Amino acid sequence: MAHRAAGPVRGMEQVTQALGGRIAYGADYNPEQWPEEVWDEDVRLMREAGVNLVSVGIFSWALLEPEPGTYDFGWLDRVLDKLHAGGIAVDLATATASPPPWFLERHPEATLVDPIGNPRAFGARQAYCPSSVAYRDAATTLIAELVKRYDDHPAVVMWHVNNEYGCHNDHCFCDASAVAFRRWLQERYGAVERLNEAWATAFWSQRYTRWDQIGPPRQVSYGNFANPGQQLDWWRFCSDEIRNLYRVEAAAVRSHSAKPLTTNFMGFRKSLDYRSWTDVGDLVSNDHYLIAADEDRTPQLAMTADLTRSWAHGEPWLLMEHSTSAVNWQPRNIAKTTGEMRRNSFQHVARGADGALFFQWRASRGGAEKFHSAMVPHAGTESRLWRDVVRLGADLSAIAEVAGTRVEQASVAIVFDWESWWAATFDSHPSVDVDPMATARAWHKACWARNLGVDIVGVTDPLDGYDVVVLPAQYLLSDETVDRLTAFVEAGGTLVATYFTGIVDEHDHIRLGGYPGALSDLLGVRIEEFCPLPEGDEIPLTAYGSGAIWSERGRAVGADVVAAYATGDCAGDPAVTRRRVGKGTAWYVGTELAPDALDTLATQIFTTTKPVVGGLPEGVEAIRRVGEQGTYVFVINHTHEAVIVPVRGTDLLSGNEGGPHLVRAGQVAVIREDR
């Protein structure tokens, strides 16, 4: 029996050590899709590309356990031996992400059920109910066999538990899930009467008298609205339930191994509140894919990496998957432009990733993801993509000394809380156009464009060290959070809260006495009525420009009105306010500012906030990582123009010394600063 060696998020350091201090570079490797004669070529090409870490066996359950209790590890033995002989380390998967056909055949009760009550068929992946005892038993049995067999294998440096938990089975409405939901509710509320209070069941005659009357929010009658308290607790439960499954599988691994383990998160995955998961693994790893049609996909990547780093409490983390070029699951799968893959990888590493891995190593010939790009494309090694893969491997090797350093303290925190996101976007609300994610992205982009360091934090994370805290439509706030925000401002911080923030408490009950109830005093505004705008309408303001989506009827109570609504029924009412509080400032933004208006306001708010590197045009990112051995400025030029970067030091990629440095259009520099 082994014990756990790593702290909650220090496992990346162990992985880096196992890789000889290098940045991890590699991919999911699925040798089972290919005849064995291809494997030798795989290892040879991995070495050519500088690959040092591959994830093996993620979807191998059906091959490893072809019949229940019958195992075939021979092929995996040979794969791991070949990789080890080639100097390639392995992130070995528990292989539990997708149970084989025999599993549901034996355990039909583990079938995933949708909100209408329909069973979902086998034929893709993740075909199981996350509450299923049979699934947990089958998974942990396989894990025990696998980990006992391979823990001592010299190629294996870490464990990859399951894969993208809940990607296709995050909400299951079967009877077993209903039982688990009731158990979760009993733990949360203790007495049915407390649940009745939290769910406001006095409304619409929903008062429950026994736990067994309560179920998941299955589909209600047409045009009807489910109880929002029930919906909120259901989303909380579903995230917790899958986290519990992660705990069960992680414990099964740890019974036989002390090597670090992780599971790959999926960034801003709405159904999974990963911030409450991060104590399960030994390191945080994340998968990130660009939405090709998103014209702001570059800042969106940066925002996701800023989120991932905050899950890791600032420690290095691992980019487990991204793509070399197009994916297969969007309506139009656009290839990455020249240099985009390299810039994407460096964006992640700049923001704290100590590895850049892809899905997948070799592009598949068959199966649902055969058009997903890979490190070895269908065209083979005579291709631009392969040359870019080899170059990136060399680049990451050249910056190995960055591994283990931390991104310097950010000046801005954007609070983005999952419970609030869920509650803010349920049905029967003032406007379907309210989108906390869109508002958060707009504020993050304003910081990104100015090269301000940003963390995407949760409501319970410490706020020390930030100059500015932004609350983008954080609809649900607890009293405790309000107290901490108040203390932050009084101590000299700048708070920016937007409309639809602080409207309800943790039970999704309205805070009475004027909006935004929780923050009305701190912000010095009292809003009497929401006046959402018709779809697509804009409302002119007396300063900055115009707003959209939202306006409000109310007045300032101690705050200065810096912009009011200029026309319409709310004309003269406050749209943007500022209040001095203690040593700090609290801003309120009561509408969704148009991009130009937000830019003008951001310039005003961030006037004293220090950028990582000043004077760079929008689209040239600069991020600093700090270690005992030195400081490193990553410069990523996403523009079509060369830029002069006023930083002195040695570019680890080009070898150029001195400075300022010229970073050409589309290029990257990693400058070790002169002391």
Distance of alpha carbon 19 from alpha carbon 54, whole angstroms: 12
List, in order, residues 6 or more apart from 269 with CB less than 8 Å away: 166, 167
Cβ distance to Zn ion smaller for residue 173 or 466 = 173
- Which of 174, 192, 242, 581 binds Zn ion (CB under 5 A)? It is 174
CB of 124 to Zn ion, least distance (A): 17
Spell out a b/e string for 590-617, using b for 16 or more CB atoms within 10 Å of the CB, else e: bbbbbeebbbbbbeebbeebeebbeebe
- Helix 340-350 with 384-398: angle, nearest 10 deg: 30
Spell out a b/e string for 533-549, using b for 16 or more CB atoms within 10 Å of the CB, else e: beeeeebbbeebbbbbb
Cβ distance to Zn ion smaller for residue 92 or 129 = 129
Q: Which stretch binds Zn ion (CB under 5 A): 11-19, 131-139, 336-344, 500-508?
A: 131-139
CB of 215 to Zn ion, least distance (A): 12
Backbone angles phi, psi at 553, to 5 degrees: -105, 120
Q: Which stretch binds Zn ion (CB under 5 A): 139-147, 172-180, 447-455, 480-488?
A: 172-180
CA nearest to 468, candidates 502, 492, 493: 493
Cβ distance to Zn ion smaller for residue 118 or 460 = 118
Here the tokens at position 637 are 């030029």
Position 59: which residue type?
F
Cβ distance to Zn ion smaller for residue 174 or 597 = 174
**Site map 255..294 versus Zn ion, x via CB under 5 A:** ----------------------------------------
Q: Which stretch binds Zn ion (CB under 5 A): 126-134, 380-388, 508-516, 523-531?
A: 126-134
DSSP string, 207-245: --SSGGG-------STT----HHHHHHHHHHHHHHHHHH
Chain centroid to CA 264: how far? 10
Maximum distance among all Cα pairs of the chain, rounded to whole angstroms = 76
Q: Per CB under 5 A, does 104 bind Zn ion?
A: no
List, in order, residues 6 or more apart from 135 with CB less than 8 Å away: 99, 103, 107, 110, 128, 129
Cβ distance to Zn ion smaller for residue 56 or 129 = 129
* Torsion sign over Cα 500, 503, 508, 512: negative
Q: Per CB under 5 A, does 172 bind Zn ion?
A: yes
Q: Per CB under 5 A, does 178 bind Zn ion?
A: no
Cβ distance to Zn ion smaller for residue 241 or 435 = 241
Residue 460, classed as helix, strand or coil, is: coil
CB of 232 to Zn ion, least distance (A): 19
**Is 641 among the residues known to form the active site?**
no
Distance of alpha carbon 451 from alpha carbon 455, whole angstroms: 13
Q: Which stretch binds Zn ion (CB under 5 A): 26-34, 175-183, 238-246, 550-558?
A: 175-183
Active-site position among 321, 340, 419, 592: 321
Subset of residues 454 to 493 that bind Zn ion, contact rule: CB under 5 A? none
Q: Per CB under 5 A, does 177 bind Zn ion?
A: yes
Q: Per CB under 5 A, does 127 bind Zn ion?
A: no
Distance of alpha carbon 647 from alpha carbon 631, whole angstroms: 11
- Which of 19, 89, 129, 605 binds Zn ion (CB under 5 A)? It is 129
CB of 219 to Zn ion, least distance (A): 15
Residue 61, classed as helix, strand or coil, is: helix
Cβ distance to Zn ion smaller for residue 50 or 130 = 130
**Is 535 among the residues known to form the active site?**
no
The span from the first CA to the last CA of the chain, in angstroms, equals 47
CB of 180 to Zn ion, least distance (A): 8
- Helix 436-449 with 595-605: angle, nearest 10 deg: 60
CB of 113 to Zn ion, least distance (A): 6
Tokens 């409309």 sit at which residue?
499
Beta-carbon count within 10 A of 625 CB: 24
CB of 18 to Zn ion, least distance (A): 38
Q: Which stretch binds Zn ion (CB under 5 A): 127-135, 200-208, 235-243, 561-569?
A: 127-135
Q: Per CB under 5 A, does 134 bind Zn ion?
A: no
Query: Could you tell me how many residues of this chain bind Zn ion (CB under 5 A)?
Result: 6
Here the tokens at position 370 are 């055969």
Active-site position among 13, 65, 164, 552: 164
**Site map 194..233 versus Zn ion, x via CB under 5 A:** ----------------------------------------
**Site map 418..447 versus Zn ion, x via CB under 5 A:** ------------------------------
Q: Per CB under 5 A, does 494 bind Zn ion?
A: no
Cβ distance to Zn ion smaller for residue 172 or 503 = 172
Catalytic residues: 164, 321
Residues that bind Zn ion in the complex, under the rule CB under 5 A: 129, 131, 172, 174, 176-177
